[in-house]
DNA sequence: GTAAGTGCAAACGGTTTGCATAAAG
DNA sequence: CTTTATGCAAACCGTTTGCACTTAC
């Protein structure tokens, strides 16, 4: 309920700034919007609000919903039928819609491909993007096979946000596991004792970070029994991730047996930098939301790890440098 | 005017099939739609039609435009203001819109990234896609810099189709040039006389095909003075194309000096197959249109070239095989 | 002659506005 | 006590429908 307080604060501030007045009606509509967490039409909202205050007018609901848009708590979305729907915007991931033209069921998903395409197109035509909309219309699984349509699993957007966090955690856990396997395999292949020890040390770092992420994931799962089985919300190109750490079978080619600790560090620094840079730009593409924060935090962790490795690299180099000066190299 | 005849034929057939009747009003609306080639609202159309026949009713225009949609000549598009607009659909590339929220200028573009994403998402959720819509809203160059807005360069969709052809030709010419450079460079690097001769022969094939494409491009340009400078319509990821033929600096690694004619053929077959397979799937993503046909034809040409190379490979192998049998190998 | 088309007016449905009254600051 | 909000009714606007009349086949 913390975030709800934040949202109310935003609304009140918006009212104050524009010389507007607080009323019980506005509060009622806002509460309804915050609690319902779905695609609300004016009609939907009016009906719900009416139960709590029979005297409220249709137009008041209209006007209040519009001001929720104006202050950034909501956004209007057009799902193809004539009516405007309002969905949560503040601290919620931007997303796109799949709409079944037969049973009107909607599924929401998120892909940064669209933001990337938008960026490219905008740059090409010298536009400044404000927002975009992407909808796919089609037949859902049920309607396609002429089954009885399951009545639109009423996914609300708090759920969306949680699923985004789940998907984001799964992704970074996946990456971190890849990193771990890579360093372990590299250690196995390395004959040089210092190099091997260094790879094991870096692998231990990865393992530690991985455990933190896994613990976060477990905690999230513990909070909701059904979250694990929700359909995927965040979509990404798996091929990109495979480029972050080379596959295990390429390790013999990449890591010579005689790799020493300094060289091992250099290899790790390259990998970590690549990962860090990827997530740096990737995280940017998301709108503020809990899921985005997973990536932002991961990026920060990777940056920190990278800095540590670089520091260690400098330290080792100067040690070996002075050994060389002593004729020991 | 050939395509216009085709479109009229489609409409008449649609009428006949549904037991509907030909009228002067319908013909008038259809003619207006075919001639105007832009985003027509009902109002726009009504105003134009009214000049030719003052007695025509608003509703008739409505109904006729709807039947143009029903028979596949037009599609409805929502550009954010309240009104439905009708744009050409038959034999026109599907495209997406950038809309300036300030001056309402729209730019159209095409990218297969969206069709690809759609495909992936649809597979993931077991949907059957019918259509999708993607719009980017923002500020155009003029409005962003508070310049006087150039009054919406009135791009019509015949133009679109031509620009698509132009972009498609540029793309395949680019690829074919890459192929030519690759084979020429390979020939240069090859010391084995048979291998070198084979690479030169394949390069000559490429050169011939390239000249055909360039001639087509020149003919297109000759037809319109301004086409060359139209903004890009088809957008694609340049990185993908760079993968079709290896860059020249990698040739020493890939082509050993002692490559013989059989090996040269094998290398060419691999490259041509990759190009063929890429354009095979790429062309599929487009809706029927002149631009698509550029890719379809290119794919067919690549397929044919590939088959020729394979035949030559088999022939050479059997020749060498029999030489081997004669103890000459 | 029969079935569909046309043009008009009226209806429709979501949205917006004008206005008298009510409530907030 | 001024200013904005509310709730109602009426207006709006793009679109659709009902219906008497007209036209195509």
CA–CA dist B52, A74 (Å, integer):
47
Closest Cα of chain A to B253: distance in Å? 16
> Closest by alpha carbon to A136, among B99, B130, B110, B124?
B130
Residues having Cβ less than 7 A from any atom in strand C: A 21-24, 41-43, 58-59, 62-63, 66, 82-84; B 19-21, 23, 25-26, 53, 55-60, 63-64
- Residue B118: is its pLDDT beyond 60? yes
Report pTM.
Answer: 0.88
pLDDT of B248: 82
B136·A144 Cβ contact <8 A = no
Contacts of A117 in chain B (CB under 8 A): 111, 113-114, 235
Choose, out of B128, B146, B238, the residue to mutate when testing the contact with A (most A CBs < 10 Å).
B128
CA–CA dist B53, A75 (Å, integer):
44
Cβ of B281 near strand D (under 7 Å)? The reply is no
CA–CA dist B167, B320 (Å, integer):
44
- Residue B168: is its pLDDT beyond 70? yes
B117·A113 Cβ contact <8 A = yes
* Amino acid A82 CA to nucleotide D17 C1' distance, rounded Å: 18
Place of tokens 């104050």: A16
Number of other residues whose CB lies within 10 A of the CB of residue B322: 11
Average pLDDT over residues B149-156: 55
Torsion sign over Cα A198, A199, A201, A205: positive
B124·A78 Cβ contact <8 A = no
Q: What contacts A143, CB < 8 A, 6 or more positions away?
A: A100, A102, A103, A149
pLDDT of B154: 54
Chain-wide mean pLDDT for chain A?
Answer: 91
Average pLDDT over residues B215-243: 92
Measured between CA atoms, the residue of chain A closest to residue B144 is: A128
pLDDT of A155: 58
Distances (CA, A) of B94 to A191, A236, A301, B210: 58, 24, 44, 28
Which nucleotide is at minimal CA–C1' distance from A15?
Answer: D4
Chain B positions contacting chain A at CB under 8 Å are 78, 98, 100-101, 107, 109, 111, 113-114, 117-118, 120-122, 124-141, 144, 231-232, 235
Number of other residues whose CB lies within 10 A of the CB of residue B59: 10
Measured between CA atoms, the residue of chain B closest to residue A118 is: B136
- Residue B323: is its pLDDT beyond 80? no
Instruction: List the single residue in B122, B134, B139 with the smallest CB-CB distance to A130.
Output: B139
SS3 string of B34-58? HHHCCCEEHHHHHHHHHHHCCCCCH
Contacts of B131 in chain A (CB under 8 A): 136-138
Average pLDDT over residues A272-299: 96
- Residue A150: is its pLDDT beyond 60? no
Average pLDDT over residues A54-68: 97
pLDDT of A104: 84
Measured between CA atoms, the residue of chain A closest to residue B80 is: A78
pLDDT of A154: 54
Q: Which of residues 25-44 of A touch strand D (CB under 7 A)?
A: 25-26
Contacts of B118 in chain A (CB under 8 A): 136
Q: pLDDT (tens digit, 9 = 90+) per residue, A200-240?
A: 999 999 999 999 999 999 999 999 989 999 999 999 988 88
Chain-wide mean pLDDT for chain B?
Answer: 91
Helical packing angle, A157-189 and A290-325, nearest 10°: 20
- Residue A156: is its pLDDT beyond 90? no
Q: pLDDT (tens digit, 9 = 90+) per residue, A223-232?
A: 998 999 999 9
* Amino acid B80 CA to nucleotide C20 C1' distance, rounded Å: 35
Choose, out of A130, A167, A235, the residue to mutate when testing the contact with B (most B CBs < 10 Å).
A130
- Residue B155: is its pLDDT beyond 90? no
A135·B139 Cβ contact <8 A = no
Low-confidence winner among A241-245, A286-290, B323-327 (lowest mean pLDDT): B323-327
Number of other residues whose CB lies within 10 A of the CB of residue A233: 24
B97 φ/ψ angles, rounded to the nearest 5 degrees: -120, 140
Going by pLDDT thresholds of 50, 70 and 90, the confidence category of residue B197 is: very high
* Amino acid B59 CA to nucleotide C10 C1' distance, rounded Å: 13
CA–CA dist B234, A124 (Å, integer):
12
B235: left (phi over 0), alpha (psi -120 to 50) or beta: beta
Going by pLDDT thresholds of 50, 70 and 90, the confidence category of residue B236 is: very high
pLDDT of B18: 95
Instruction: List the single residue in A98, A125, A140 with the smallest CB-CB distance to B98.
Output: A125
Average pLDDT over residues B228-247: 88
CA–CA dist A265, A74 (Å, integer):
48
B133·A135 Cβ contact <8 A = yes
Low-confidence winner among A91-95, B25-29, B146-150 (lowest mean pLDDT): B146-150
CA–CA dist A3, A9 (Å, integer):
10
A114·B135 Cβ contact <8 A = no
- Residue B152: is its pLDDT beyond 60? no
Q: pLDDT (tens digit, 9 = 90+) per residue, A178-190?
A: 999 999 999 999 9
> Do residues B241 and B295 lie in contact, with contact meaning Cβ atoms separated by under 8 Å?
no
Contacts of A124 in chain B (CB under 8 A): 231-232, 235
Place of tokens 């909808």: A135
Closest Cα of chain A to B121: distance in Å? 8
CA–CA dist A124, B273 (Å, integer):
32
Burial status of residue A55 (CB atoms within 10 A of its CB: 0-12, 13-18, 19 or more): exposed
Of residues A66 and B323, which shows the higher confidence score? A66
């Amino acid at each position: 309920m913390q975030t709800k307080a934040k949202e109310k604060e935003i609304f009140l501030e918006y009212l104050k700034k524009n010389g507007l007045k607080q009323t019980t009606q506005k509060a009622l509509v806002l509460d309804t919007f915050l609690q319902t967490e779905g695609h609300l039409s004016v009609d939907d909202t009016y009906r719900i609000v009416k139960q709590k205050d029979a005297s409220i007018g249709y137009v008041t609901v209209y006007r209040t919903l519009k001001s929720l848009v104006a202050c950034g708590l909501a956004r209007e979305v057009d799902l193809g039928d004539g009516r405007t729907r309002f969905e949560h915007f503040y601290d919620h991931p931007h997303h796109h819609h799949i709409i079944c033209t037969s049973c009107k069921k909607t599924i929401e998903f998120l892909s940064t491909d669209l933001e990337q395409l938008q960026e490219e197109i905008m740059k090409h035509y010298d536009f400044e993007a404000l927002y975009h909309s992407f909808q796919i219309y089609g037949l859902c699984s049920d309607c396609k096979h002429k089954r009885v349509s399951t009545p639109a699993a009423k996914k609300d957007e708090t759920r969306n946000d949680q699923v985004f966090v789940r998907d984001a955690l799964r992704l970074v856990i996946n990456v971190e596991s890849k990193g771990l396997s890579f360093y372990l395999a590299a250690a196995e292949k390395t004959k040089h004792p210092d190099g091997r020890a260094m790879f094991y040390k870096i692998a231990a770092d990865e393992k530690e970070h991985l455990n933190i992420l896994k613990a976060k994931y477990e905690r999230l799962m513990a909070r909701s029994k059904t979250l694990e089985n929700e359909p995927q919300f965040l979509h990404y190109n798996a091929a990109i991730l495979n480029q972050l750490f080379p596959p295990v079978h390429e390790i013999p080619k990449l890591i010579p047996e005689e790799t020493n600790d300094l060289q091992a560090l250099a290899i790790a620094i390259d990998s970590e930098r690549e990962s860090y840079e990827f997530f740096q730009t990737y995280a940017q593409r998301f709108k503020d939301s809990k899921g985005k924060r997973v990536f932002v935090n991961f990026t920060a962790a990777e940056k920190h790890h990278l800095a540590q490795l670089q520091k260690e690299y400098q330290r080792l180099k100067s040690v070996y440098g002075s050994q060389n000066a002593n004729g020991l190299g």
